[in-house]
Amino acid sequence: MNTGGLDKLKEMVEAEFQANFEAQREELRKHAKQQIFKIQEENRKTYNLRRREAKPYRVGDLVAIKRTQFGPHLKLKPKYFGPYSITRAKGGNTYDVIKEGNHEGPNFTTTRAEYLKPWNTIVVWRTSRIQEGRDCGTRLTAAHVIPAARLADLRRTGQLTIWHPDGMLKMTPAPKDTSKDEKMQDYATTIISLCSSSVHS
């Protein structure tokens, strides 16, 4: 019995089936790829809605670093350590920082800009950074300057802290009936006092 014709027909059917199968697989792959791109684009738009550019910092800037390790009994602990001084700006918004003063936190570490925030204090540097024989304002040129309005705001809410080599000095809110000039004079007296004690310590 001659089955040559049947074998050839079988091969043709199998070849067509294989071609259809491959075409279907390719179509499914293209559809899946399109869906992935679509979801990625939606995710990108959602992420970029709230994304902010990383704040640039310079060597010498005082910052607070975010607590990234959590555990029991830390719920009421501060979320940031500080102050820290930036010692090196690395690529990719990454910085090396070193502890300034005596407080909780690592002595030095590497962290990213997203875990940093400016340290809002008036800074009186160590004696080695202060030049004797010059007025206090000049000696404090290395300090971070806070605008007067912001300064008054921080003092009013009791958030203002003076950083000094001997420790943190918390400034209590000024009485409500204190005039603006008296408040500014109070700040100036405090800064000059700290400045003088640093020079002569």
Q: Give pLDDT tens digits for 79-126.
A: 888 888 899 988 888 999 998 878 888 888 999 988 898 886 554 433
Q: How confident is the model at residue 152 (pLDDT cuts 50, 70, 90)?
A: low
As a whole number, mean pLDDT of residues 162-186 equals 46
The structure's pTM equals 0.44
Closest of 119, 112, 113 to residue 80, by C-alpha: 119
In this structure, the number of other CB atoms found within 10 A of the CB of residue 6 comes to 10
- Helices 180-200 and 148-156 cross at an angle (nearest 10°) of 90
Q: Which pLDDT belongs to residue 77?
A: 80
**Position with higher pLDDT, 36 vs 157:** 36
**25-36 pLDDT tens trace:** 999 999 999 999
